A and B are shown apart, each in its own frame.
Chain A
Amino acid sequence: MKALELDKTFTSGVGQQESYGTVTIRVVVLPPKKNEEGTPEIQDPEESLAESGSGPLDSYLERPRGEGYVVFLVRGQRHDSRDENFVQSELDFKFLKSRTMVIINVDGLAPEAIAELVQGSRQGFYEGVVYGAILDRVVAVLKKDPDLMRLEEDAEQKLAELRAGDEVVRKKLDELIEGHLPGGHHGLPGGEGKGSQGGMQGVGNSLSTQEVVVRAYPTVGDPASGPILEGSPQSETIVIHPNEEYSLAVKAVPEDAWPALKSHQIKLEPTVPEMGAKVEDDGLGVTIKLVFTEPKDSEDYDYPIKTKLTFYANFDGKPEPRLLERSLIIRPKARRPPPPPAKLVEDPTFLRVASRQPVKLVPGGPSCHVRLRWDGEDHLAGGWPPLWTFTARCLSLESFPSPVFSKPRNGRFELLLDAPHGLLTGQSLEFEVEAAGPGGKKLLAVFSGEVIEPPPAPEPRKTKDTAPAGTSERQPPYKLLEVYKKDWDSPCWGSPPWTEADGGCFDEPKEGVPLKLIINKDAAVLQAAREQMIARQLSEGSIKERLGRYEAHVYFHLYKMYEYFVAAKKAHDNDEPGARVPSELELRGEINRVAVTLSSLMDR
């Protein structure tokens, strides 16, 4: 009842007196331009459009690379516009920003609202409360648009793939540096560090909060006795592909403890109705077989689906359950092209909901997009008057705001649900969609929704976990130094001077003085790369990041050269056959070669 009262308030809030009128929103995303080889050129979101050359929307802007990615129209005339950063900063689609156009037609606003917006100069809207309300609506409609989210994910993935070739070398070095340089993250072997003695809260009402035993490092919780559970594969995160069985073997450590197993339980949180789980016990352990059965008409839009698998086991004589956790990510092996559209006909035969149900409704949150399919030709929903019209209503709550539709394209369209404030979390709502055509023909589809709380925004949280000691406490076996042109008369590979061709050098440790790894900050290749990045108008952050990566790689290579040098010297001192200490010239040549290579990579 409480929710209903609040809904009534909301309903009066959207009455004509309480609104400015209506706007229509259109969003168009063009595919990325292709280069001469036919490869899509995905815009690097860190690069400005001015730097990246022509974009696919250039011919649709007032001037190339100018504003106009978001346009506001009055009677078809552009009165205001925004640049591509709106798509990035307000809608969070940074990979789409250079090829997305949002068109907002404000003709449906009340004359008073238009009068507030329009200025005599036609040089932009007045950015007051009406303008703000329009922007809020645009964000609510588009921020969680499944098509935009899918395209964003595609673009990110493609960009990663495009970079992959060049990145192989860099990535390898990055990985190595991670393990060597101060401040680098030290990976933890085994990957079984999660879990805590007091921590079973939030896994479900049927489970009580109690102490559990997990496989973890000594820094976690208190000592406990076995057995513990071990999973195979050991990876903490499991990727499951739709319609493919995945097996997770669970056994006890020590293995001979398994016969003492009393009971076991498996739980998915949140639940995934399409997921089937079968547990097979072979007397030595269990195999959990998971299958995500993709519903008919399911498309990539709903992926990835994330959940957590928890396996509990109770052993005779052991009061605390044993616990094993895995994060599950369900997604197709590769982005698949959308299935061929159903044959569209002049006399449609079906209307159905293609979204996963129950659809999730966040009170006061972004619009929920419910995907619909029918087999009617697109033009049936247009024309004067349209031959077919769509309506939708909430069967459970009369006062639920009237949903609106997108225009069908290739038989696909969407229904937007805006859950009002005041609905109770967990509340289930039933909806009905109706397509009405000539001669009283009707097509119906129903679907369910569930009110959920908005996901909490990430915030700083203090927690306990294993982590490398602070760098201040760590004594690296080397010292990182930089040399500038003014210091070029100092020793380089043992004797001065440095030249612009020198990328760096190391200086062997002496008594009380650690190994010195020295980078030439005024090396010609580095200067050239820096100037080129500035000329391309890369952002300051991007330049800094690339320079930092260059330096890390050069330092790392110097470190590895030193290790090799020491090993070679030792072999030589031991008269090992073929042992040879690299000359100063060879060392100099090697690091200079690396500097040139890395600087060229830096500019890509």
Chain B
Amino acid sequence: MTTRAVESLLTELPIVGENEYIFNPKDPYEGWREGFFHWYPVGAERGNAGRIKLAGSAFNPIGERTVNCMESLIEMKRQLELKNGPADAPKDPRDAVKRYFDLPPLNEVPGWRQPIRGMKAREYARSLATQIRVYLKREGRPAEYTITIEDSGIGQAPENVHSTLLSLGTSDKADKPYLIGVFGQGGSSAYQACRYSWILSRRHPELLNGAGGGVGWTVIKHVFPKGRRDDYYAYLAAHPDGRVPSLPVSTANPIGLKHGVRFTHVKYDFGKTEPARRLYSALNHLLFDPVLPYELYTGPDRAPDPMYGNGYRLSKLAARDKDVLDKSFEPQLITKG
């Protein structure tokens, strides 16, 4: 996916220009043209730039998106669990990962002796990593980087994409202690770091809860309205209430999208850094002890790197090198005053 490919697609679609449809939060129908896609503010908020421009560095948004993927897997397991009857919620993400995946903290895997689901701990962790995939691709002329972060998690039905994946600060996570983020906008910072973002989402078929089973999609871009200073981020909406376009479910199988979400960030801005080498270190640092492992693909001829975080890497190093000091202390009480 390149800038050219996205722009080529956009020219073929019936889209109302960003200066023609001015979103009115009190009346989104105002100026809406039936049968056309419209550039709709992310989070239904024209002033969203302040909430999105929080990346800080090129790597933070990728880490945030990857965390979203972990939550997507945990939530899928949680909702499948609830289909079988009421069950207390896991008390935190580690508890959830223990309950649903039998996975110990990844930094303990190098020393973990007990088999997990009939496999050695390391092999089991490796197999789990395939559920979340981060791709770095360099393509096009002039060359540009594309980052794709995808999971095989719960996904969102097309009619819910706008109120979940494209929401800002209206998190549905607050009463779910087993999820990681709270603000529900960490991953959105990736919009700042790229020219276009491309989303594909398909809900787990067993968890539709009456929603349609198609594939939701949209494109997100940075909009600079003519004659105004309040730039914002907008996505292609198909309905004045913010719903995104959708494709029939038949389109999902050929691209291997059984369920989950794919975020592709086109022409990702890594600054002067060479990301293929840096991404491995940076992600292992940012997701130091991730609750779930994932895969990192950095080249067409290169096997994916399973990513377990620096906590794991340090434990592994300490296990094979006796000169490494590695000490962990039990929880320490932090007293007030």
Contact = CB atoms under 8 A, between A and B. Distances in A.
A59 B281 contact: yes
B25 interface: no
Nearest to A24: B331
Contact of A122 (B54, B313, B318, B332): B54
Interface in B213-233: none
B290 interface: yes
A310 B54 CA distance: 67
A407 B328 contact: yes
B236 interface: no
Contacts of B207: none
Interface in A98-129: 101, 103, 105, 107-109, 113, 118, 120-123, 129
Contacts of B284: 60
A18 B329 contact: no
Interface in A311-326: none
B281 A133 contact: no
B186 to A, nearest CB: 6
Contacts of B290: 76-77
Interface stretch (B58-66, B80-88, B125-133, B254-262): B58-66
B333 A28 contact: no
A271 interface: no
Interface string B151-191: 00000000000000000000000000000101101100000
Contact of A19 (B322, B324, B334): B334
Contacts of B289: 73, 76, 103, 105
B12 to A, nearest CB: 37
B191 to A, nearest CB: 15
Contacts of B322: 410
A78 B309 CA distance: 10
Contacts of A68: 285
B94 interface: yes
A221 interface: no
B108 A382 contact: yes
A151 B54 contact: no
A443 interface: no
A42 to B, nearest CB: 13
Contact of B335 (A14, A30, A61, A151): A14
A405 interface: yes
Contacts, number: 186
A406 B330 contact: yes
B33 interface: no
Contacts of A20: 334-336
B311 interface: yes
Contact of B314 (A60, A108, A147, A405): A60
A364 to B, nearest CB: 11
A485 interface: no
Interface in B97-111: 98, 104-105, 107-108, 111
A558 to B, nearest CB: 47
Nearest to B182: A118
A103 B284 CA distance: 13
A547 interface: no
A101 B310 CA distance: 10
A383 B182 CA distance: 30
Contacts of A58: 281
B335 A13 contact: yes
Interface string A391-421: 0000000000100111101100010100000
A30 B336 contact: no
A24 B329 contact: yes
A20 B335 CA distance: 6
Contact of B326 (A19, A28, A384): A28
A108 B331 contact: yes
B326 A31 contact: no
A148 B309 CA distance: 24
A125 to B, nearest CB: 13
B114 interface: yes
A31 B183 contact: no
A383 B113 contact: yes
B164 to A, nearest CB: 18
Interface in B268-282: 273, 278, 281-282
A200 interface: no
A406 B325 CA distance: 12
Interface string B9-27: 0000000000000000000
B291 interface: yes
Contacts of A109: 334
Given A19-B333, A121-B56, A409 B326 contact: yes
Nearest to A114: B182
A401 to B, nearest CB: 8
A18 B326 contact: no
A77 B331 contact: no
B114 to A, nearest CB: 6
A151 B56 CA distance: 36
A425 B52 CA distance: 57
Contacts of B287: 76-78
Contacts of B320: none
Contacts of B108: 382
B141 interface: no
A379 interface: yes
B302 interface: no
A362 B286 CA distance: 37
Given A27-B327, A30-B317, A133-B334, A77 B63 contact: yes
B209 to A, nearest CB: 27
A28 B331 contact: no
Interface in A519-544: none
B112 A382 contact: yes
Interface in A1-43: 13-14, 18-31
A153 to B, nearest CB: 13
Given A24-B332, A379-B113, 12 more contacts: A13-B337, A22-B331, A23-B334, A76-B287, A76-B289, A77-B180, A77-B286, A121-B54, A137-B332, A383-B113, A406-B327, A409-B326
Which 3 A-B pairs have CB atoms at the shortest separation, nearest pair first? Answer: A22-B331, A76-B289, A404-B330
Interface of A: 13-14, 18-31, 58-64, 68, 71, 73, 75-78, 101, 103, 105, 107-109, 113, 118, 120-123, 129-130, 133-134, 137, 141, 145, 147-148, 151, 377-379, 382-384, 401, 404-407, 409-410, 414, 416
Interface of B: 51, 54, 56-57, 59-60, 63-64, 67, 92-94, 98, 104-105, 107-108, 111-114, 180, 182-183, 185-186, 273, 278, 281-282, 284-291, 309-311, 313-314, 317-318, 321-337
13 contacts: A19-B335, A19-B336, A26-B327, A26-B329, A28-B318, A30-B317, A31-B324, A61-B281, A76-B291, A122-B186, A145-B327, A384-B98, A404-B332
